Chain A
């Protein structure tokens, strides 16, 4: 069975600085998808960024980028120019590409605090 591990329960970053959130996963599959979700306090969980395992190029979305290391089974999220609105819980998630698989496996989350 696949597992997702986020080893940082909490991180802090100064406004305008850069922070990296870690995520590792365990799988025997070669084809899968990885996601980072953001959950602000008392608000909806939303997608931040996604990565297909078959793509070597790291995904980027504006200030958000990932460092995908397939061999190391690592999928970290880098937030550049941090803003107060980035404060939230961040969850890393895995989804198998096997046909008929619809489950997303979540890590335990990292709470990000942004300091003014």
Chain B
């Protein structure tokens, strides 16, 4: 089945130690998103790509970076994680283009990040 896959499901890192979360998709969607979700809250959009065009949210900390080397893969890099960055990180995809506005996002299972 076509899907969005996030690895790992659980990631533990030390305060200040860089960490990378990965996302891959087999849906061939041209838009990929990264969200941060804290307990029982709405997902907060960090950034999204339309193809290779990167769109950063104004309130996304500089500590968060992203790479999309090709259509299928997208990475979230946290350069110096702080305790406040402990959260669930969700990757999502959607199809953009003429007539695709009603297409929903497809989400991965998420990566739960813990900071020691």
The residues of A with any CB-CB pair to B shorter than 8 Å are 33, 35, 37, 43-47, 50, 52, 89, 91, 95, 97, 102-104, 106-109, 111
| Contact (Cβ within 8 A) B40 A44 | no
Give the residue of B40, B45, B96, B102 whose beta carbon is less than 8 angstroms from that of A109: B40
B20 contacts chain A at the CB level, 8 A cutoff: no
> Please, which residues of chain B bring their CB within 8 A of the CB of A102?
31, 48, 50, 55, 94, 96
Give the residue of A47, A108, A111 whose beta carbon is less than 8 angstroms from that of B104: A47
B60 contacts chain A at the CB level, 8 A cutoff: no
| Contact (Cβ within 8 A) A45 B90 | yes
Please measure, in the bound complex, the distance between the C-alpha atom of A44 and the C-alpha atom of B111, giving whole angstroms. Answer: 11
Please measure, in the bound complex, the distance between the C-alpha atom of A62 and the C-alpha atom of B67, giving whole angstroms. Answer: 39
Please measure, in the bound complex, the distance between the C-alpha atom of A109 and the C-alpha atom of B43, giving whole angstroms. Answer: 9
| Contact (Cβ within 8 A) A43 B109 | yes
| Contact (Cβ within 8 A) A44 B104 | no
Give the residue of A37, A47, A97, A109 whose beta carbon is less than 8 angstroms from that of B41: A109
> Please, which residues of chain A bring their CB within 8 A of the CB of B110?
44
| Contact (Cβ within 8 A) A33 B105 | no
Secondary structure class of chain B's binding surface, majority of residues:
loop
The residues of B with any CB-CB pair to A shorter than 8 Å are 31, 40-43, 45, 48, 50, 55, 90, 92, 94, 96, 101-102, 104-105, 107-110
Tally inter-chain residue pairs, CB-CB below 8 A.
45
> Please, which residues of chain B bring their CB within 8 A of the CB of A91?
42-43
Secondary structure class of chain A's binding surface, majority of residues:
strand
Given A43-B109, A95-B101, does the pair A111, B96 have CB atoms closer than 8 Å? no
Please measure, in the bound complex, the distance between the C-alpha atom of A116 and the C-alpha atom of B107, giving whole angstroms. Answer: 29
| Contact (Cβ within 8 A) A103 B48 | yes
> Please, which residues of chain B bring their CB within 8 A of the CB of A33?
101-102
- Least CB distance, B115 to chain A, in whole angstroms: 19
Given A44-B110, A45-B90, does the pair A104, B105 have CB atoms closer than 8 Å? yes
Q: Which residue of A lies closest to B35 (CB)?
A: A106
| Contact (Cβ within 8 A) B45 A35 | no
